């Protein structure tokens, strides 16, 4: 009975999340945002850094679409349809492109783990240092006398 209630509660939660996600308004398109996220196909820089003829045409096209009321996603989709996926400054977070987002963190975590393992093994494999040799009583007495004379002078 308890498991059935938990499943039902999970189903209601997922359904509510899906319903709210469907109602979420599209982000308002901004010329500056889009120019920073779209690459110029000629010079391989973002549109806000490029002044090539095609970049100027793309900027004008973006401005026209914003004035027409297109959302940011609609504008990006139209540009991707025209120029291909490489027009986006950052790869989409789905499919094979997800590797570009996840792999740096995996490599960083793996490198830290390997470095920690090597440090741990290195600290465990060292032999303990031998104890310091004892001074003879005569030499110890002479060191004490010299230290006492040094403190006085």
> Is residue 11 pLDDT above 60, yes or no?
no
pTM above 0.85, yes or no: no
Domain 24-96 fold: Helicase, Ruva Protein; domain 3 (1.10.8)
pLDDT in tens, 30-84: 788 888 889 998 888 888 888 899 999 999 999 999 999 888 889 989 988 988 8
CB under 8 Å, gap of 24 or more: what pairs does 58-63 form? 59/31, 59/35, 62/29, 62/31, 62/34, 62/35, 62/38, 63/31
- Say if CB 3 and CB 51 are below 8 A apart: no
pLDDT in tens, 75-101: 989 988 988 888 888 777 777 777 877
């Amino acid at each position: 009975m308890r498991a059935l209630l938990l499943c039902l509660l999970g189903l209601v939660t997922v359904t509510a999340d899906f319903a709210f996600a469907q109602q979420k308004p599209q982000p308002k398109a901004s010329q500056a945002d889009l120019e920073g996220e779209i690459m110029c196909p000629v010079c391989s820089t973002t549109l806000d850094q490029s002044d090539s003829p095609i970049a100027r045409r793309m900027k004008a096209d973006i401005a026209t679409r914003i004035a027409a009321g297109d959302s940011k996603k609609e504008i990006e989709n139209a540009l991707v349809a025209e120029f291909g996926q490489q027009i986006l400054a950052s790869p989409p977070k789905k499919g094979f492109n997800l590797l570009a987002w996840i792999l740096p963190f995996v490599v960083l975590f793996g490198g830290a783990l390997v470095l920690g393992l090597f440090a741990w093994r290195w600290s465990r494999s060292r032999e303990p240092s031998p104890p310091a040799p004892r001074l003879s009583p005569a030499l110890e007495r002479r060191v004490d006398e010299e230290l006492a004379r040094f403190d006085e002078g």
